[in-house]
Homo-oligomer: A and B are copies of this chain.
């Protein structure tokens, strides 16, 4: 195990792959791995990429990787599918579009299912990010195929959250529904060579202007791209760098990273508790409490009290 960690720190892709598999499998070895990696992490810039299906997320990620490689950055790509443990196949299909970078030793691409229930993304994803970070990635792109809650969670994990839109993907109200107006640090209108791109930009700008912003707050820029022609990605990288400078000067970077650590600690503690609850005195106390609530013989608050009592006994 120490050998595996040291090889991962040297950037050996097979060692990195093995460590991320341990994360996915929620291996008991993770304690030791994370303790060894923690002092070497914290250097990578983490960029979240979200957007509805069809806006060109994979193509944009691919083009962004190319742009970052021009600048000689080592890049990690983590594609997380929070919706299903079974859709690895569909994600893999997307990955085919990333073949441009398959042979580049300074690009590490990984798809990951996120099986967690209560913990959701907060359980496994930060640990996978730590592996890539300690392995020397300068930038980690984290992409989710989900929308809604998973977008919000991605935003919680990233230093900079990039929200993709495209013309013809539904009106402004739909965008507001997905909650994206609160999470974007940077908005990218992809497929900007299509009709309607300027309208999307106008709608987005007027919706963004509705939100209240504190003095000194970041004002999310809107960039137009045509990812499959690699157009506009230099401007995207420029805006990511401006946001990074603001994160550092405003103290927001430290705040975000502490918040992220807090969520991760909580998720680990809660997972440990849930494991204990699932198997108290050889059988599941929780199952019995649940059956009583389902039958209307108890209520969930009383049952939760009983559950906490078994823990402190």
Residue numbers of A with Cβ under 8 A of B are 30-31, 34-35, 37-42, 52-54, 81-84, 86-87, 89-91, 93, 118-120, 122, 126-127, 144-152, 170, 173-174, 176-179, 181-182, 254, 257-262, 264-270, 272-274, 277, 286-287, 289-291, 293-304, 307-308, 312
Known contacts A301-B31, A301-B34, A312-B312: A261-B291 contact under CB 8 Å: yes
Residues of B close to A254: CB separation below 8 A: 294
Residues of B close to A146: CB separation below 8 A: 147-149, 177-178
| A144 to B87 alpha-carbon distance, docked (Å) | 22
> Are A42 and B262 closer than 8 Å at their CB atoms?
no
Dominant secondary structure of chain A at its interface with chain B: helix
> Are B293 and A83 closer than 8 Å at their CB atoms?
no
> Are A257 and B294 closer than 8 Å at their CB atoms?
yes
Known contacts A147-B148, A258-B287: A179-B298 contact under CB 8 Å: no
> Are A293 and B264 closer than 8 Å at their CB atoms?
yes
| A277 to B290 alpha-carbon distance, docked (Å) | 25
| A304 to B52 alpha-carbon distance, docked (Å) | 35
Q: Separation in Å of the A253 CB from the closest CB of chain B?
A: 10
> Are A39 and B145 closer than 8 Å at their CB atoms?
no
Known contacts A35-B302, A266-B274, A287-B258: A145-B177 contact under CB 8 Å: yes
Partner of A265, one of B82, B170, B264, B300: B300
Residues of B close to A122: CB separation below 8 A: 118
> Are B300 and A264 closer than 8 Å at their CB atoms?
yes
Partner of A298, one of B38, B81, B174, B289: B38
